[in-house]
Amino acid sequence: MFRASAALIAILLLAPHALGASPPKVPAQKTPAISKSVNEDDEDDDEDDDEDDVEDDNDDDEEDAALGTIEGHVTLASDNLLRGLTQTMHQPSLQAGFDWSGPYDLWVSTNATNVKFEESQASVEFDGALGLRHELGENGPALSLGVLYYWYFNDRDRSSWDVPFSAEYRGFTLEIDYSPRWNGTRAHAWYLNLGYEHELPLAFTGGLAAGYSVFPDGARSPNYADFKVSLKRELFGLELEVDGIFTRLQKIRQVDYDFDTELEELRDDETVWGGSRAVFSVTKRF
């Protein structure tokens, strides 16, 4: 009986295969669904990475904005003229400096150059300035106010300082400078300048400017006017410029000034400070 039962069980187990019945189906693995899920995860990761990159870039931009921007320059010129008067006795000039603009409309500017005067041992001039610059609206004028100090190596008595103000609007620039201690003296001085720049064909930029120097206390020179015509163009990363400089007087008399009383003596000898002059310069900015 045991053998019959075993045989019956064997027949029951083998019967389905013998009759061609299909084996039990194993649930199919949902590979496509798994792949889709993996792809979605990858896309989410990529989006997260992109968002992280954008956030990092924004953080870098905010950090740069917080630190401000700095620009350097080096200029080689055939002469160095300030307000129409030579600062090198018409000899070549090498200038270098940095300009920084930061948050809250702050700016700082420095410049160093060689100088040469007839009655001075000064050989190097260093200028340092700081101030505020603010634009009035999107299309409004840009206003700037600062303090500028001139320091002369080997002739500190010549050092002086200015309070420069400027307004820029659509190519026009109005400049008003006041110096309570002009050229190392206790004489006051004012300087007014109006300029205009306009883009020309072939990537040139042309400019016109007229200035007027006023010495209410009769400093070392009488009042005089200066004029400037400029043409510049960028070429191979260099800024090339040629200027025509004209002063109202070719010869300006020097005076001896008694600070305690009045103008004491006007000497007869005359020194050529201004006149008409062409100045060529090459500037590299970085």
Q: Which residues contact 81 (CB under 8 A, 6 or more apart)?
A: 87, 245, 277, 279
**Tokens 């084996």 belong to residue:** 23
Per-residue pLDDT at 36? 46
Per-residue pLDDT at 115? 96
The parts of the chain modelled with pLDDT lower than 50 are 1-36, 38, 250, 252-272
Per-residue pLDDT at 45? 57
Q: How far apart are alpha carbons 26 and 24 in whole angstroms?
A: 6
- Quote the DSSP letter at residue 222: -
Q: Which residues contact 167 (CB under 8 A, 6 or more apart)?
A: 141, 142, 143, 144, 173, 174
- Give the angle subtended at the CA of 271 by the CAs of 177 and 259, to the nearest 5°: 55
Do residues 155 and 169 touch, judged by C-beta distance below 8 A? no
Q: How far apart are alpha carbons 219 and 258 in whole angstroms?
A: 10
Q: How far apart are alpha carbons 210 and 206 in whole angstroms?
A: 14
Per-residue pLDDT at 6? 46
Q: How far apart are alpha carbons 112 and 117 in whole angstroms?
A: 16
Q: How far apart are alpha carbons 215 and 179 in whole angstroms?
A: 10
Do residues 93 and 116 touch, judged by C-beta distance below 8 A? no
* Alpha helices (H) along 19-89: 31-67
Q: How far apart are alpha carbons 256 and 264 in whole angstroms?
A: 6
Q: What is the pLDDT of residues 62-86, one digit of tens each?
A: 555 668 999 999 999 999 999 998 9
Per-residue pLDDT at 184? 72
Q: What is the pLDDT of residues 19-39, one digit of tens each?
A: 344 444 444 444 444 444 545
Number of Cβ within a 10 Å radius of residue 158? 19
Do residues 280 and 93 touch, judged by C-beta distance below 8 A? no
**Mean pLDDT, rounded, of the chain:** 78
Q: How far apart are alpha carbons 142 and 172 in whole angstroms?
A: 11
Torsion over CA: 100, 164, 198, 77 (sign): negative
Do residues 138 and 122 touch, judged by C-beta distance below 8 A? no
Q: How far apart are alpha carbons 282 and 239 in whole angstroms?
A: 6
Q: How far apart are alpha carbons 256 and 221 in whole angstroms?
A: 10
Cross-strand pairs, 285: 73
Which two three-digit tokens encode residue 51? 């968002």
* Alpha helices (H) along the chain: 2-18, 31-67
